[in-house]
Structure 1
Amino acid sequence: MSPQNDSGGRAADTATWGFFIWGLTCIQVLEGLEAVRRRPGMYIGSIGERGLHQMVFQVVSYAVDEHLAGDADAIDVTITADGGIRVADDGRGLPVEVQEGTGRPAVELALTELSFGPKSHTGYWVSGGINGLGLCVVNALSSHLTVEVHRDGHRWTQEYKKGIPITALTRHEESSGHGTAIAFLPDADIFETTRYSFATLSERLQELAFLNGGLAISLNDERPERPVHHHHADGLRAYVAHLNPYPTSLVHSPAIGFESENEDGTIFVQVAIQWSTWSSAGGFHSFANSTRTHEGGAHEQGFRTALTDVVNDYARRNGQLPSDDEDITAAAVHEGLTAVISIKLTHPVFEGATRTRLANPEADAYVHMVVRRHLTAWLDHNPDEASAIIRHVLNASTDADVVMKEL
């Protein structure tokens, strides 16, 4: 190789390395709340109305977890006069003690550190929501946030601006109460709109009250609109009754409801179902850890398979379906059906485009077993209602056959 060519090669190598080093200086490593503010859609789905309301549901999810842990009975949500949100619960209150190795109180870490969600230290066996980072994310995306805690015999407060503490955690007067109140104002520099819909919030809060029987949830609007109070001791059966507004069309009443928890306490299943002659009945609604699983998943699969199997087994055992006839189809079984299934798991695995499909295989097997056992027992103990259900699905099956022949 000639000296001239060798020199040209070294020049090219130097240029390449120079470009590489320049590129490294242009790469920004986003850490902590800066990452949330730069890419909010990754954490709350969007910066439109959906993401705006998700901010509320993230905070409410923490309060629901307090209820699931047996430490809260009520949640009060208020749309404040300035357009912000205040969520208060009567749970244990976020921990205020200083965490070893950080010199910072636990409540501050929960509100500022992505790796320190409230679920990491409060002992929940299950948590609502999908990412477990709710409080931290809400703080990052708020222009202003105040947390008030009643715990350890005192009232404590701290204020934040765009996720950054602007006051230290301050201890105030003595208090015999317990619970957490978080008030926040969504950052208008991030969201496309900062106006909350009373109807949207009310619908989701009512849904949470149905899914968590015994939990009282109130929604108030200081702008103002009329307050609402959701409290459904009958849980999912009350939810089904709400979804079936025409009593005269019901095949049986009340709704069938049952629940079950596995031996090691890692899965808890609740089911409520009711058939109606109204073809556009309430439909199918499934949830995992109080999150609506719009894309279904393992728990839905277990339910649907078991439901069809049980109906066919009962119909044959009781002579309503001859042994030489084909099985009743799943479509006929689901005709006029309103069903709500809620599953709570210690370690849910979500997937799908919007992370609303449950992937846990153990959910399929356990839900299938629970539905087979409890629905079979209910049908056996309620023969009149059971016969009416079988007649209904057989009629649906016959109607479907007629339609197919006409086609």
Structure 2
Amino acid sequence: MYIGSTSEWGLRQMVFEVADRAVNEVLDGRAASVDVTLTPDGGVCVADDGPGISIDETEAGPGIEALLTQMQAGTGAGGRHGVALGFCGVGPAVVNALSQRMTAEVRREGVRWVQEYARGVAAAPLTEAGAATGSGTTIAFWPDADIFGAAEFSFDGLVERFRELAFLNQGLEISLTDLRRPDESCSVRLRLPGGARDFVAFLDGHPAASAPMDTIAFEYEDPRMAGVMKVAFRWCSCPEKRVRSFANSRPTVDGTHTVGFRDGMTAAVIAYAREQGLLTTTDPDFDADRISEGLTAVVSVKLDRPEFEGSTRGVLGNAEVRDCVGQAVQDHLGRWLKDDPERAAAVIDRIVQGARRD
């Protein structure tokens, strides 16, 4: 239940549970990058160049052995400044329990420490293994074949999720390397400072220079929702709608942030169309689905106290977020429509033509 599945999806969650701490080390400025490697023998190695996990328990958290053998409910950074990658945020101890083997190496304060585990239990005491070059933590694990059978890690699935994180957190750098097939090894390094604007271009398949329409992008902090929003969107030439939403870097299927986005879009377009006489007093309002045709958008909010509906955390429930996002989108889109009347007319005309076809 802690990773959601014994299929490939569950294997992926194991990687996220181990990578969670390393990613937050980078976001907190204590590390520069995270390196994830799929090894030839079916394992996964997650390494960072931070200060290294504490050997013993401190005020900041558990020591390395406790972290890897005792389930830490709520593991992962809280608030808007961190990300929680795992399915339930229970930490790497669950991964250890589901692995036939796990190894840990900590390079801290000039000393290298190592320890090995078997199915969640330490196989030997934490051992000092000489001087360390640099600092950091490396954790490797090999999933238990009796639990996961022939399931394999999906390199593309890992890349997709880590790419999202790199777009949503511009200071994050992650590399992924697949060494499982020596003749087909591949590697990708993700550092995407363009943020939500470039995320839209990626989803749309058009770089900004060749896009058929401007990308409207903004970042805004609203104290009413105790958080910050990052929103980017543009219309393209195809009818398909691509709207991706996130709350504290976690993918969502719906929620108050997406409802607010739709509210703001609809209000701005209708107000502009009526001001310009493109909708008469007898014409009905455009509906949100019609306005969203051909839209590519990224809607991300980071909140101090996010509230999710259901155990899978796929729907954001903070009521105040709807009005905050809606007003911000209405203001920014309304301003863009007035400042660029030629492209605004193209957007409205497309919506009008679509409504007439209905």
Q: Which residue of 2 aligns with 1:45?
A: 4
CA deviations 1:301-344 (Å, max 9, x no partner) are 11111111122123233443334432221111100011111222
Q: Which segment drifts farther, 242-251 or 269-278?
A: 242-251
For 2:150 and 2:275, locate their aligned partners in 1 and report how far apart those are by CA, in whole Å: 58
Tell me if the contact between 2:234 and 2:295 (Cα under 8 Å) persists in the aligned partners.
yes
Tell me if the contact between 1:148 and 1:181 (Cα under 8 Å) persists in the aligned partners.
yes
Please say if 1:235 is aligned against 2:191.
no
Structure 1 position 275, deviation (Å): 0.4
Q: Which residue of 1 aligns with 2:17?
A: 58
For 2:117 and 2:80, locate their aligned partners in 1 and report how far apart those are by CA, in whole Å: 26
Supply the AA of the counterpart residue of 1:276. Answer: C
**Aligned to 2:40, which of 81, 88, 109?**
81
Q: Which residue of 2 aligns with 1:6?
A: none
For 2:6 and 2:251, locate their aligned partners in 1 and report how far apart those are by CA, in whole Å: 20
Please say if 1:127 is aligned against 2:83.
yes
Tell me if the contact between 1:272 and 1:341 (Cα under 8 Å) persists in the aligned partners.
yes
Q: Which residue of 2 aligns with 1:252?
A: 213
Q: What are the within-5 Å matches in structure 2 for residues 204-219 of structure 1?
A: 204-219=161-176
For 1:249 and 1:321, locate their aligned partners in 2 and report how far apart those are by CA, in whole Å: 31
Q: Specify the SS of the correspondent of 1:86.
A: strand
Q: What are the within-5 Å matches in structure 2 for residues 8-407 of structure 1?
A: 42-99=1-58, 106-115=63-72, 118-119=75-76, 125-129=81-85, 130-175=87-132, 177-224=134-181, 225-245=185-205, 250-253=211-214, 255-263=215-223, 266-281=226-241, 283-294=242-253, 296-352=254-310, 354-400=312-358
Q: Specify the SS of the correspondent of 1:148.
A: strand
Structure 1 position 51, deviation (Å): 0.7
Larger Rg over CA atoms: 1
Tell me if the contact between 1:260 and 1:270 (Cα under 8 Å) persists in the aligned partners.
yes
1:259–1:173 CA distance, 2 compared to 1 (3 A): farther
Tell me if the contact between 1:73 and 1:216 (Cα under 8 Å) persists in the aligned partners.
yes
For 1:92 and 1:327, locate their aligned partners in 2 and report how far apart those are by CA, in whole Å: 57
Q: Specify the SS of the correspondent of 1:83.
A: coil
CA deviations 1:196-246 (Å, max 9, x no partner) are 222222222222222222422211111232212222111222221112125
Q: Specify the SS of the correspondent of 2:147.
A: coil
Tell me if the contact between 1:249 and 1:276 (Cα under 8 Å) persists in the aligned partners.
no
Supply the AA of the counterpart residue of 2:83. Answer: S
Q: Which segment drifts farther, 153-162 or 327-336?
A: 153-162
More helix per residue: 1
Structure 1 position 86, deviation (Å): 0.9
1:353–1:108 CA distance, 2 compared to 1 (3 A): closer
CA deviations 1:356-402 (Å, max 9, x no partner) are 222222332332233233333443444433333222222222222xx
Tell me if the contact between 2:80 and 2:227 (Cα under 8 Å) persists in the aligned partners.
no
Gaps of 5+ in 1: 1-41, 401-407
CA deviations 1:179-208 (Å, max 9, x no partner) are 332211111121133422222222222222
CA deviations 1:82-134 (Å, max 9, x no partner) are 1111112234433333348xxx95222222222465437x9985432353213
Structure 1 position 273, deviation (Å): 0.7
Supply the AA of the counterpart residue of 2:280. Answer: P
Using CA pairs under 8 Å that are at least 6 residues apart, name the structure with larger relative contact order, 1 or 2: 2
Gaps of 5+ in 2: none
For 2:126 and 2:62, locate their aligned partners in 1 and report how far apart those are by CA, in whole Å: 7
Structure 1 position 138, deviation (Å): 1.4
Q: Specify the SS of the correspondent of 1:184.
A: strand
Per the normalisation by structure 2, the TM-score is 0.86
Supply the AA of the counterpart residue of 1:275. Answer: W
Q: Specify the SS of the correspondent of 1:114.
A: coil
Structure 1 position 298, deviation (Å): 1.8
1:245–1:170 CA distance, 2 compared to 1 (3 A): same
Tell me if the contact between 2:80 and 2:302 (Cα under 8 Å) persists in the aligned partners.
no
Q: Which segment drifts farther, 157-166 or 175-184?
A: 175-184
Q: Which residue of 2 aligns with 1:19?
A: none
Tell me if the contact between 2:71 and 2:93 (Cα under 8 Å) persists in the aligned partners.
yes
Q: Specify the SS of the correspondent of 1:61.
A: helix
Tell me if the contact between 2:104 and 2:115 (Cα under 8 Å) persists in the aligned partners.
yes
Aligned CA RMSD, in angstroms, stands at: 2.9
CA deviations 1:42-63 (Å, max 9, x no partner) are 1111111111111112223333
Tell me if the contact between 2:52 and 2:108 (Cα under 8 Å) persists in the aligned partners.
yes
For 1:93 and 1:365, locate their aligned partners in 2 and report how far apart those are by CA, in whole Å: 42
Supply the AA of the counterpart residue of 2:39. Answer: T
Tell me if the contact between 1:80 and 1:221 (Cα under 8 Å) persists in the aligned partners.
yes
Q: Which segment drifts farther, 204-213 or 326-335?
A: 204-213
